[in-house]
Amino acid sequence: MRSILRWRVFLAIAVFFAAPFAFPPAQARSDAGPAVVTQGAPEIAVAELPREARETLQLIKRGGPFSYARDGAVFGNYEKRLPRRERGYYREYTVKTPAAKNRGARRIIAGAGGELYYTDDHYQSFRRIME
C-alpha cells in the first residue's frame, strides 16, 4: 500500500514539474498589426503625412528646436514593431496633435541609418516614411 502511495506522489510531482514543458504557453494575440515592420511594410509618402508631421520632419532634419523635452529621446522599441536594433538606434519625436492637451499619440521615429517611421496610434502600428 505504501509503495502505491509513494508512486502516486512521485507521479504527481513529475507531472507538476513536466507540464510547463509539455504544453507551451499560449501566444498573446494582438490585433494591433504585425510584430515587426519588415520589407513590404506599409509606407506613407511625405506628402501624405499630416502638416504637423511634415513640420516635425523639417525640425528633425534641422536638429531642432523641438517643442517637447522628450523629443530626441531614445525609443526603446519595446513593442518590437520596428526591426530590432541595439539600444539607442531609434529616437522619437512628437508630432503635434491639434486640440490635444498633452503630447498626443502621433510620433516620428528616426533610425540611426536614416529610416523614418510614422505612428498616429502611439506605437501600435508604424508606416515607413518614403521621401
Residue whose entry in the numeric block shows the C-alpha cell 514543458: 21
Domain ranges within the chain, ordered by starting residue = 34-130
Catalytic residues: 92, 122
C-alpha distance across the termini of the chain, in Å: 79
CA distance 29 to 51: 34
What pLDDT is attached to residue 131?
A: 82
Residue 41 predicted with pLDDT over 80: no
Indicate the residue type of 81. Answer: R
Question: What does the pLDDT average to over 37-52?
Answer: 83
Specify the CATH superfamily of domain 34-130: Microbial ribonucleases (3.10.450.30)
Task: Give pLDDT tens digits for 69-121.
Answer: 999 999 999 999 999 999 999 999 999 998 888 999 999 999 999 999 999 99
What pLDDT is attached to residue 52?
A: 96
Angle at 54 between CA 128 and CA 90, to 5 degrees: 45
CA distance 127 to 77: 14
Residue 123 predicted with pLDDT over 80: yes
Task: Give pLDDT tens digits for 15-34.
Answer: 555 545 444 444 333 344 44
